[in-house]
């Protein structure tokens, strides 16, 4: 009987063995295929192979760990975390897996959890190289750049020839503007690892940040020679060629990227911007439109496209109506959520693109709700003038003409909507082809966007000057010769998920620094919200200025009102016409004691004008139309000098 059982067991084994062997061979081949793809950084191919391994053997520790790395590289962090934790249950003592989990947690923003994992690793292995690198990345994620530099320096001192340590330290130093020191570390990495395409790429990246475009291009050529399929290097080379004003070459490189991936928005953007700079505006609009069909939320693409549309299409163009409709839809969405200021912004942007749109009636109604019936009336009259009226518009115009009959403008017989009352001349520039690594000419696009928002400020006249300036000196000269009171230089720092805008303001006459404004934004609508905030900071920084339009005995009418912050009982100074000048440096107006000819107390305010009672200073009443009205000196400010000082 024993012999029979043995024979039966051998027979069963012979039956099962042909099934097991192909499975084992298949598992092996899939795993080897995955490892090969991993080395080649083909994350999709590697993930597919490792998933096949795990279908055959769900407890395959190496495949589970490798799959976690694939998802990490693909930025699918939730999946990566799930797989790395499965892998750690299969290899509980694996420090590389613990380090990978820490990196994934950092990427997900779970910094406390990452810190806990790294603390455990470093308690066991105080000089674990990967853990030291991850600890430095953790400091970066916390915003502690100085601590990150310190930890990377420690890693480099312990592992002086390590590629990752040298490059990481160089990149962090480059991010804080220490390009010279960064270059010494990246040069060492190049010398030690000259056959590694990534080292040349990062050397080029740092050179591009430092403005050394020829050196960057040379390093990228080497990187692409070592790995012709390295698209990140090709993308950076396209940016470098664009910044070097080699627009046709930048467009050609963009075409190569698009040929391998038609959904690469950055490539379409570079090509569209290159065509814009080449003056091929019709094609530029088509190309940028294609980029928006791929990613409709890319604000720089939309802003650049709308800028080209405004400059190269007639007002009646159907193309304008198409792009304006996007903003009208967004305005209604904001309005439905009771976000009236957001809605007003979108209506204004839409009407900038398509001034003849019937939706102007919606904008007019919103102005009424916000307390500006006069402005509502002017918007509706405009619709009547262009033949876009209807019964509702006509009835509203008739009603408000009657309601506003005895308001200040009618009493004084002035039309505040035709007054030339923009008292500050402002130029907006981007200097030195200021570009991000994500969007070329980011500074110029943001500057144009900010300039467009400023046009809606009734106190500021934005001068129609070329936004792109080659240097600060050319910007200063351009602003000064145009008679600008101040000029803004806009710069941008941009990552995938955040945006930093900087606006440096200079005195147009002297070129001295007047002020600096900055904003940092994350999430959606970063460019939109950041630009609006910069504009708000500029508006709030400019001193109040108004002009006396008319005078009747002691009553005067000034060209500023509710929309400019004028309120009943406000008190102002009156100074002689032409006596105020912009300060040589900083923000403010210069005048003397002898220039002060009176004070003004506001009695009545409407939207764009105000009436007040003027009181003379001295024996004679010198106050007349054209004299300036300014704010009283702030408490604690320097005394106003007499004329001869």
612 & 505 share domain:
no
CATH classification at residue 529? 3.40.50.10610
579 and 606 share a domain?
Answer: yes
Phi/psi for 323 (5° steps) reads: -75, -30
Question: DSSP 3-state assignment of 316?
Answer: coil
Residue 58 lies in a domain: no
Q: Say yes or no: 475 and 573 in one domain.
A: no
Contact predicate 489/475, CB 8 Å: yes
**354 falls within a domain:** yes
Is residue 277 in a domain? no
Mean pLDDT by 10 residues, the chain (645 residues): 40 41 68 90 91 92 92 92 93 91 92 93 90 89 88 88 90 87 92 94 92 95 95 96 96 97 96 97 98 95 97 94 97 96 96 96 95 91 92 90 78 85 93 75 95 92 95 96 97 89 97 96 93 96 95 94 93 94 93 93 94 91 93 76 64
| Residue 7: per-residue pLDDT | 40
CA-to-CA distance for 213 and 496, rounded, in angstroms?
23
Note whether residue 508 is domain-resident: yes
The pLDDT value recorded for residue 406 is: 64
Q: HSE (CB half, 13 Å, CA atoms) of 350?
A: 25
- 361, 388, 418 - which closes a domain: 418
Please check whether residue 432 is in contact with residue 470, taking contact to mean a CB–CB distance below 8 angstroms: yes
Q: Is 571 left (phi over 0), alpha (psi -120 to 50) or beta?
A: beta
d(CA 255, CA 607): 53
CB atoms within 10 A of CB 478: 18
Domain count, the chain: 3
Residues in a beta bridge with 555? 552, 613
535, 432: one domain: yes
Give a yes or no: residue 96 inside a domain.
no
pTM: 0.83
Residues 448 and 534 in one domain: yes
Supply 450's token pair.
Answer: 């900010």
- What pLDDT shows up at residue 5? 34
Q: Are strands 424-431 and 468-469 parallel, antiparallel or unpaired?
A: parallel
Same domain, 329 and 394: yes
- Residues with Cβ within 8 Å of 111's Cβ and at least 6 positions away in sequence, in order, are 105, 138, 141, 142
Work out the burial of residue 93: count CB atoms within 10 Å of its CB; fewer than 13 is exposed, 13-18 middle, 19 or more buried: exposed
Residue 402: predicted pLDDT: 78
Q: Report the C-alpha gap between 532 and 506 in whole angstroms.
A: 20
Q: What is the CATH number of the domain that holds 401?
A: 1.25.40.10
Do 476 and 415 touch, CB atoms closer than 8 A?
Answer: no
* Residue 386 is assigned to a structural domain of this protein: yes
Note the pLDDT of residue 435.
62
Give yes or no: residues 396 and 374 share one domain.
Answer: yes
- Cβ atoms 505, 516 nearer than 8 A: yes
Q: Looking at the structure, do residues 534 and 560 belong to the same domain, yes or no? A: no
Q: How far apart are CA 57 and CA 418, in angstroms?
A: 79
What H or E segment, with its residue span, contains residue 498?
strand 498-507
Question: Are 445 and 364 part of one and the same domain?
Answer: no
CB-CB contact of 407 with 604 (8 Å)? no
Q: Tell me which of 370, 394, 418 is where a domain ends.
A: 418
Domain assignment of residue 29, yes or no: no
Q: Tell me, what's the pLDDT at 202?
A: 94
**Domain containing 618 — which CATH number?**
2.40.10.410
Q: Are residues 435 and 527 in the same domain?
A: yes
Question: Taking a C-beta distance cutoff of 8 angstroms, is the pair 475, 463 a contact?
Answer: no
CA distance 242 to 274: 7
CA dihedral sign of residues 296, 300, 302, 305: negative
Task: Check whether residue 322 and residue 410 sit in a common domain.
Answer: yes
Task: Give Cα 73 to chain centroid, integer Å.
Answer: 25
| Residue range(s) defining the domain that contains residue 388 | 312-418
- Indicate the pairing of strand 571-575 with strand 513-522: unpaired
Residue 246 lies in a domain: no
Domain boundary among 418, 446, 474: 418
Q: Are residues 410 and 429 in the same domain?
A: no
């Amino acid at each position: 009987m024993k012999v029979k059982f043995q024979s039966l067991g051998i027979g069963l084994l012979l039956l099962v063995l042909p099934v097991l062997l192909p499975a084992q061979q298949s598992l092996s081949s899939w795993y080897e295929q995955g490892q090969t793809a991993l080395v080649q950084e083909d994350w999709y191919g590697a993930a597919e192979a490792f998933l096949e391994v795990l279908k055959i053997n769900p407890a395959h520790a190496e495949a589970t760990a490798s799959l976690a790395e694939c998802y990490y590289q693909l930025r699918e962090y939730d999946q990566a975390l799930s797989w790395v934790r499965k892998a750690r249950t299969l290899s509980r003592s694996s420090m590389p897996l613990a380090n990978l989990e820490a990196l994934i947690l950092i990427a997900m923003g779970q910094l406390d959890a990452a810190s806990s994992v790294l603390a455990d690793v470093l308690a066991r292995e105080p000089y674990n190289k990967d853990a030291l690198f991850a600890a430095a990345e953790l400091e970066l994620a916390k915003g502690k750049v100085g601590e990150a530099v310190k930890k990377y320096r420690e890693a480099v001192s312990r592992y002086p020839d390590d590629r990752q340590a040298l490059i990481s330290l160089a990149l962090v130093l480059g991010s804080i503007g220490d390009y010279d020191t960064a270059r010494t570390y990246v040069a060492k990495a190049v010398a030690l690892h000259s056959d590694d395409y990534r080292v040349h790429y990062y050397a080029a990246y740092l050179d591009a940040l430092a403005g050394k475009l020829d050196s960057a291009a040379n390093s990228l050529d080497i990187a692409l020679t070592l790995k012709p399929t390295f698209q990140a290097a090709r993308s950076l080379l396209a940016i470098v060629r664009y910044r070097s004003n080699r627009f046709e070459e930048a467009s050609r490189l963009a075409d190569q990227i698009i040929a391998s991936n038609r959904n690469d928005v950055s490539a379409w953007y570079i090509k569209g911007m290159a065509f814009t700079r080449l003056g091929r505006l019709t094609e530029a609009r088509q190309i940028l439109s294609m980029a928006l069909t791929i990613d409709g939320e890319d604000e720089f693409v939309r802003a650049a496209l709308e800028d080209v549309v405004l400059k190269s299409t007639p007002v009646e163009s159907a193309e304008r109506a198409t792009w304006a409709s996007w903003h009208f839809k967004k305005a209604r969405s904001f309005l439905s959520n009771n976000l009236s200021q957001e809605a007003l912004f979108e209506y204004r942007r839409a009407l900038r693109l398509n001034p003849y749109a019937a939706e102007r009636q919606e904008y007019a109604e919103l102005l009424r709700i916000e307390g500006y019936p006069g402005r509502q009336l002017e918007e509706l009259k405009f619709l009547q003038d262009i033949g876009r009226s209807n019964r509702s518009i006509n009835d509203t115009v008739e009603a408000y003409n009657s309601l506003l009959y005895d308001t200040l403008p009618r009493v004084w017989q002035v039309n505040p909507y035709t007054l030339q009352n923009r008292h500050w001349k402002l130029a907006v520039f981007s200097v030195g082809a200021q570009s991000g690594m994500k969007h070329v000419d980011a500074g110029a696009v943001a500057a144009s966007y900010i300039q467009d928002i400023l046009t809606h400020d009734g106190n500021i006249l934005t001068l129609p000057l070329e936004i792109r300036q080659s240097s600060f000196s050319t910007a200063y000269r351009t602003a000064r010769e145009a008679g600008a009171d101040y000029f803004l230089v806009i710069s941008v720092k941009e990552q995938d998920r955040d945006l930093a805008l900087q606006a440096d303001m200079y005195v147009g006459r002297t070129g001295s620094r007047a002020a600096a404004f900055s904003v940092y934004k994350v999430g959606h609508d970063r460019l939109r919200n950041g630009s609006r905030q910069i504009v708000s900071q500029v508006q709030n920084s400019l001193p109040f200025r108004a002009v006396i339009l008319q005078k009747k005995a002691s009553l005067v009418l000034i060209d500023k009102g509710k929309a400019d912050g004028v309120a009943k009982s406000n008190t102002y100074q009156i100074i002689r016409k032409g006596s105020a000048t912009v300060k040589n440096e900083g923000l403010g107006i210069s005048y003397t004691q002898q220039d002060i000819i009176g004070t003004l107390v506001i009695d009545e305010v409407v939207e764009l004008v105000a009436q007040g009672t003027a009181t003379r200073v001295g024996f004679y009443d010198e106050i007349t139309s054209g004299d300036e009205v300014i704010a009283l000196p702030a408490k604690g400010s320097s005394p106003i000098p007499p004329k001869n000082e």
